[in-house]
Amino acid sequence: MSLADKIVEIGLVPVIKITDPAHAAPLAEALIAADLPVAEVTFRTDCAAEAIKIMSEYKELLLGAGTVITAEQVKAAKEAGATYIISPGFSPEVSKACIAEDLIYFPGVASPRDIQDAMADGWKTLKFFPAEALGGVKTLKAFAAPYPGISFVPTGGINAENVKSYMDLPVVKACGGSWMVPNKLMEEGNFGAITELAKEALTKIK
């Protein structure tokens, strides 16, 4: 099964912002304990690569790097152990770097033009971001018609209440979001509560 298929089978991509490398291992364990072994570790903090390196010890985790906006970050993510790359918007530079590094890329798209640019580089599973702010389910339905064979991972403003409405769309293969991994809980060291949130999220998409 391909990596994209494995993510699709699970259906959720927790979007993570690690502020302290000490959180990386317990977070990986919390997600695995919830049967949600997926992590998009965002390059929004200086310790992102270090956190990815720590989390890469957990071989069952589908470990990706998010908020990747430069070719250098693609290299750093790969060196740290990430197996896929996500960015908020489609970036030709990141796309080329992923092809060169043999990494899967889930580019962010917000418009038909973005979708076509991503398709031109061969990418078929695209992150629709920021989903809620761009019209959510209604916009995705409109995107579906002209692009058969393209699927979406909506992210941005998704939560336990609205995730099912996205997952009910045939073009949606998985949903991303930070609601399962709140920084407040990480800072409190409450990784058990993160496991519970992740489990709850999985029940919502059934």
Chain residues 160-199 in contact with ligand 3PG, contact rule CB under 6 A = 176-179
Chain residues 133-162 in contact with ligand 3PG, contact rule CB under 6 A = 155-158
The site map against ligand 3PG for 18-47 (x = CB under 6 A) is ------------------------------
Least distance to ligand 3PG, CB of residue 39, Å: 12
Least distance to ligand 3PG, CB of residue 146, Å: 24
**Backbone φ, ψ for residue 5 (5° rounding):** -65, -40
Is 164 known to be catalytic?
no
Least distance to ligand 3PG, CB of residue 147, Å: 21
125 lies in the site for ligand 3PG, by CB under 6 A: no
The set of residues, in sequence order, having a beta carbon less than 8 Å from that of 72 and lying 6+ positions away, is none
Is 127 known to be catalytic?
yes
What whole-number distance in Å separates Cα of residue 131 and Cα of residue 40? 17
For residues 106 and 129, the answer to whether their CB atoms sit within 8 Å is: no
Chain residues 47-76 in contact with ligand 3PG, contact rule CB under 6 A = 66-67
What whole-number distance in Å separates Cα of residue 80 and Cα of residue 50? 7
Which helix (DSSP H) or strand (DSSP E) does residue 79 occupy?
helix 71-80
Copy the structure tokens of residue 4. Answer: 């994209």
The set of residues, in sequence order, having a beta carbon less than 8 Å from that of 197 and lying 6+ positions away, is 160, 179, 180, 181, 182, 185
Which C-beta is closer to ligand 3PG: that of 109 or that of 149?
109
List contacts with ligand 3PG (CB under 6 A): 15, 66-67, 88, 129, 155-158, 176-179
